[in-house]
Chains A and B, each alone.
Chain A
Amino acid sequence: MYKGYLCLILHGHLPFVRHPEHEDFLEEDWLYEAITETYIPLILTLERLLNDNIDFRLTMSLSPTLISMLTDGLLQDRYLRHINRLIELAYKEVERTRWQPEFQHLAIMYLNNFCKARDTFQRFNRNLITPFKNFQDCGKLEIVTCAATHGFLPLMDICRESIRAQVKVAVSHYETVFGKKPRGIWLPECGYHPGHDEILKEAGLRYFFTDSHGVLHGAPRPKYGVFAPVYCRGTGVACFGRDLESSKQVWSSIDGYPGDYLYREFYRDIGFDLDYEYIRPYIHPDGVRINTGIKYFRITGSESKEPYNPHLAREKASEHASNFMFNREKQIEYLYDFMQKKPIIVSPYDAELFGHWWYEGPAWLEFLIRKVIFDQKTIRLITPGEYLLENPRNQVITPSLSSWGWKGYSEMWLQGPNDWIYRHLHTASGRMTELAKSLPHRDGILRRALKQALRELLLAQSSDWAFIMGTGTHTSYATRRTKEHLLRFTRLYEDIKSNSIDENWLCDIEYKDNIFPDIDYRVHQ
């Protein structure tokens, strides 16, 4: 008999980066790398599970920006160009490493993987949302939404109209893409501020997630800690708290799985290691060396890296999956005795951790799911929606302000390098509310301008820009994006107010920032 539940969640998100005005744009590679290394391997993993009739459960959030990029024609074309170039490079690598068998088999592995990625991409007519939708439609995968552009909501509390817009735009986007309403939402960075559940409720959302202390520091005290969801006082929206024990096993670079010496080293890439002239056609046209995705070494544990061995790494991933499962079994058995109720272990991870940073992550996930299904009887995989249907009675509390970011609150997005953005963002929010309220029914070019104004505001609000500024490295793009969207918003606001919209310019930014074509600007109220 099952004694508890394991809820695995992958949070898939990338900020909206799309630059039709440039032939090649470095930061678009974030998407292309994630497609090759994360999304496609995940799709193939889930397909294998499905083909083997494995009744798995997985929860994923796909942010509206990520969905928009994955379904964008220009980016799809460019991904194909990108993967074709990679395949060409991999062919060359197979030849180049002819006298180095320890590397040649890796070159062949990459060549195969890249070809498989291209095949998969084309098999779904370049639209990688299709397979995820299929997994959801057959009941194995629960896809939750996320805020429209991944805005960090606690730092928008002063202008809740913007929170409402972030949530409602996301919900209607989800409906368009998946043909039904989302039941849950992944709050960007797990950022929860008491009261924001009211907006979730308005939008028809039934549950969200917080970090552990969001629930543990809630009032009144949660009876079952993070091992049962709670309902928010006043709204009844359910809140699931993250289990840190299981999180750390995967996240931690000190004693987490991904740091194992047998696993592939992320930071050694042929884009940096090989002769400049040779690698030149495959790096950025400006001549800057970049990651290609071809990496030949394992972490090793010392400065002189040893060649990667995929077989040993795979065995290790299997071993780590067993270890993870064993620990969850023990955890659940213990909690079950203790709580006299089936606990739920909520284990969320960044989807892009799997495959991109932790190359063996998708294999680990597949091993874990297969083992949980076949090798034990304590844990049952579940999605939050399913859990709530089976366990409708839960405690009512007010969760605490929290995030899963650095130090657990808002500091990652509110510190010296990024605190300057808020006076501009908040002013823009106030102005957008003013526009939406004063011009509720508009047509033609004015309507287009209003819609574009909301797009620009939402894009400026992406938590990713503040995050990158906060990390202090390579901040210029993030700064530029924040300013660019704010400036575009400001100009639209002024043009709308003075009724002097420059249609050519509007066309230009509609073409550049083309996210959410059906956006309803009136949701910003």
Chain B
Amino acid sequence: MAILRKLKEKLKKIMQKEKKSPPQTFAPQTSAHPPRILAEILAKKIAKGSPQKRKGKEVPAAEKKEILGQQETAIGKTKFYTVEAPRMPRVMPQELPEQYGQDKIVLQVRDPWWIHAYWEITGQTYERLKNELKDEFYRAKRILRVYDVSQIIFDGKNAHRFFDIQINEGTSNWYIDSAGAGRSWCVDLGLLLSDGRFIMIVRSNTVCTPIEGPSWITDEEWMIPEDMFARLYGMGFGLGRSSPVGKGWQERVRRAFISSPGVSSLASPVKKVPGERKFWLVVNTELIVYGATEPDAKVYIQDRQINLRHDGTFTMRFALPNGKQVIPVKATASDNKEERTITPIVTKETK
């Protein structure tokens, strides 16, 4: 613990410094000395060319807090940026089964604190339990018993601790708040009888939640100075700008210094501001020039040749800006002996 506390102290100091440095530039985080200042000035100069502050949409402070991977998600989405075609709702040949006919519970780790469990229990198993337990079955509660099995080979009895989550009959999955990063977990799905007995129906696999910060274990052979690691740690996260990974570790340190304007927003960068009125109107004008001549004639519009359809007709379409357009349309016979020119003149104004 002492090691961790020391590390936190170091990190605090670094965070404080970073608050002052320009966000999009790199500035070394050694204790202030001339080269660093120089670097910052240089960096600022260069950074002038880097993204300006948005004027139109000032992002509220709360939204500026980035969630790790949020940008990756937003950009990743553009890969799949299509509208949905109004396809005939295709009838699936069949639906996936709700159950596969086995007693099973599976745990998966969502993040350092949350585990997801899904399960299925067959009708036969419930029938068997009903026969065995009779009326007790109907009084019993369905529960998930969550065991902390860190560093042990679990035999059903030797867990460090456990807690129960009551579930409804129709439920078949649950997000479990283990509140314990860096520990191993196993879950029994079973019945809690009114006399306090627990009947296990099925046991899950064992999963291990990752730790929420750097490891306390330091390799002897590769002993690493605390301050060095703290700096590397901050830098690995992009100069300590908010990043939720290592949350428990990073943000706890930060919270003391940065007044938190509430829970970090999960807003997407293209999020619409609720309540803003969105009524709008766009008007554009285009001009269609069309006509017909001998199919083998050559036609020029404003001195540029255009292609005729097989029947000698033609259509051209122009975006029409404000002002006057003089549009001579000239047709020349294939033997070049005859020529006709018609010149529409169009004036557009917008009020």
* Interface set of A (CB-CB < 8 Å, partner B): 14, 26-27, 29-30, 34, 92, 95-100, 103, 154-155, 157-158, 194, 211-213, 215-221, 223-227, 241, 243-245, 247-249, 251-257, 259-261, 266-267, 275, 278, 284, 286, 288-291, 301-303, 316, 319-320, 322-323, 326-328, 330-331, 333-335, 338, 350, 352-353, 356-357, 395-397, 400-412, 414-415, 419-420, 422-424, 426-427, 464, 467-468, 471, 473-474, 476-477, 480, 483-484, 486-487, 490
Contacts and interface: CB of A to CB of B under 8 A. Distances in A.
B96 A486 contact: yes
Given A216-B214, A225-B236, A422 B317 contact: no
B75 A357 contact: yes
A99 B72 contact: no
Nearest to A249: B24
B120 interface: yes
Nearest to B181: A217
B173 interface: yes
A487 B51 contact: no
B318 A98 contact: yes
Contacts of B316: 95
A242 to B, nearest CB: 9
A223 B64 CA distance: 31
B52 A483 contact: no
Which among A252, A401, A420 has the greatest number of chain B C-beta atoms within 10 A? A252
B78 A409 contact: no
Contact of B109 (A154, A252, A316, A484): A154
A405 B72 contact: yes
Given A244-B236, A301-B55, A338 B228 contact: yes
Interface stretch (B79-87, B121-129, B144-152): B79-87
B108 to A, nearest CB: 6
A100 B23 CA distance: 40
A275 B118 contact: no
A257 B120 contact: no
B51 A326 contact: no
Contact of A409 (B79, B95, B109, B118): B109
Contact of A99 (B50, B235, B325): B325
Contact of B269 (A254, A320, A477): A254
A463 B304 CA distance: 52
Contact of B30 (A215, A284, A326, A334): A334
Interface in B196-212: 205, 207-212
A303 B56 contact: yes
A286 B87 contact: yes
Interface string B103-121: 0001011111010101010
A320 B76 CA distance: 22
Nearest to A488: B93
A186 B87 CA distance: 35
B47 interface: yes
Contact of B51 (A34, A259, A411): A259
Contact of A220 (B68, B114, B218, B237): B218
A26 B49 contact: no
B205 to A, nearest CB: 6
Given A103-B319, A410-B110, 7 more contacts: A100-B321, A158-B108, A251-B72, A326-B26, A330-B26, A330-B43, A334-B26
Contacts of A259: 51, 54
13 contacts: A26-B85, A98-B302, A211-B68, A212-B245, A217-B213, A221-B217, A251-B72, A254-B59, A261-B51, A406-B70, A408-B68, A412-B69, A414-B108
Nearest to B228: A338
A212 B238 CA distance: 10
Contacts of A409: 109-112, 210
Nearest to A303: B56
Interface string B209-236: 1111111111100101000110111011
A217 B69 contact: no
Interface of B is mostly: loop
Contacts of B16: none
Given A260-B51, A410-B110, A331 B26 contact: yes
Nearest to B219: A220
B90 interface: yes
A419 B116 contact: yes
Given A245-B26, A406-B70, A217 B215 contact: yes
A422 B209 CA distance: 19
A350 B111 CA distance: 23
A260 B49 CA distance: 9
Given A423-B120, A480-B90, A403 B69 contact: yes
Given A320-B50, A402-B210, A219 B319 contact: no
Nearest to B46: A323
Which among A267, A323, A464 has the greatest number of chain B C-beta atoms within 10 A? A323
Contact of A357 (B69, B78, B219): B78
A406 B47 contact: no
B39 interface: yes
Interface in B237-292: 237-239, 241, 243-246, 269-270, 284, 286
Contacts of B93: 487
Contact of A334 (B28, B112, B238): B28
A487 B92 contact: yes
B77 interface: yes
B320 A99 contact: yes
